[in-house]
């Protein structure tokens, strides 16, 4: 940790000194430098418990997810999905299958594809006939956090992506899955409503 702290402080100091007369940049780098000092001090304060500030801390418990994730195993992804109340149904090499609650007590089967730092949530709804494209277009025009389309079989699909390559917290992934569950349920309700009109 000391080697990391020294290298990071040196890099920040060089950046700080090299920014010349830009006061705003100096203040921002100074604040960042202070935060790094606080984080490393927190890590060195207690060696009996893992520190939340340092995912590489040697005292972190085995099996715990790091504070920041930029790649995740399907097993850990399944644990996060279960932790938000969805039912884990297994995984393949690049995907985790789960069940979410839907409108009117229905259950929605979904898959999260886990590939190269990208998580893609996907739910398809088997329909006897394709939905009106106006309904799908309206969804995409008015809703956030997901997109809808009609797949090659004529079934409506809802998807959402989360790029984790830059690093995200486990809570970010949990919220991503929860928001997708809400979106998928609302999309399903729109499909039912669109069929009845």
* 54 within some domain: no
* 59 within some domain: no
Does one domain contain both 87 and 145? yes
The end-to-end CA distance of the chain, in Å, is 63
Number of domains forming the structure of the chain = 2
Q: Which domain holds residue 38?
A: 2-45
Does 96 score more than 80 pLDDT?
yes
Does one domain contain both 116 and 178? yes
* 64 within some domain: no
Q: Which two tokens stand for residue 129?
A: 């006939």
Does one domain contain both 116 and 38? no
Does one domain contain both 78 and 36? no
* 66 within some domain: no
- Band of pLDDT at residue 50, cut at 50, 70 and 90: very low
Mean pLDDT of 114-143: 92
Please state the pTM of the whole predicted model: 0.67
How far apart CA 27 and CA 25 sit, in angstroms, is 5
Does one domain contain both 17 and 79? no
């Amino acid at each position: 940790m000391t080697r990391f702290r020294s290298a990071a402080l040196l890099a920040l100091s060089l950046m700080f000194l090299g920014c010349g007369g830009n006061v705003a940049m100096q203040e921002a780098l100074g604040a960042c430098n202070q935060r790094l000092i606080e984080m490393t001090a927190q890590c060195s304060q207690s060696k009996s418990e893992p520190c939340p500030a340092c995912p590489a801390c040697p005292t972190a418990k085995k099996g715990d997810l790091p504070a920041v994730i930029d790649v995740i195993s399907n097993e850990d992804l399944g644990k996060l999905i279960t932790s938000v109340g969805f039912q884990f149904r297994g995984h393949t090499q690049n995907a985790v299958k789960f069940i979410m609650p839907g409108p009117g007590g229905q259950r929605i089967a979904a898959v999260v594809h886990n590939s190269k730092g990208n998580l893609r949530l996907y739910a398809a709804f088997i329909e006897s006939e394709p939905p009106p494209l106006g309904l799908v277009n309206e969804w995409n025009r008015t809703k956030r956090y997901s997109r809808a389309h009609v797949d090659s079989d004529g079934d409506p699909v809802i998807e959402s992506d989360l790029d984790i390559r830059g690093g995200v917290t486990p809570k970010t992934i949990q919220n991503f899955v929860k928001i997708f569950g809400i979106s998928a349920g609302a999309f399903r309700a729109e499909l039912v409503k669109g069929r009845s009109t």
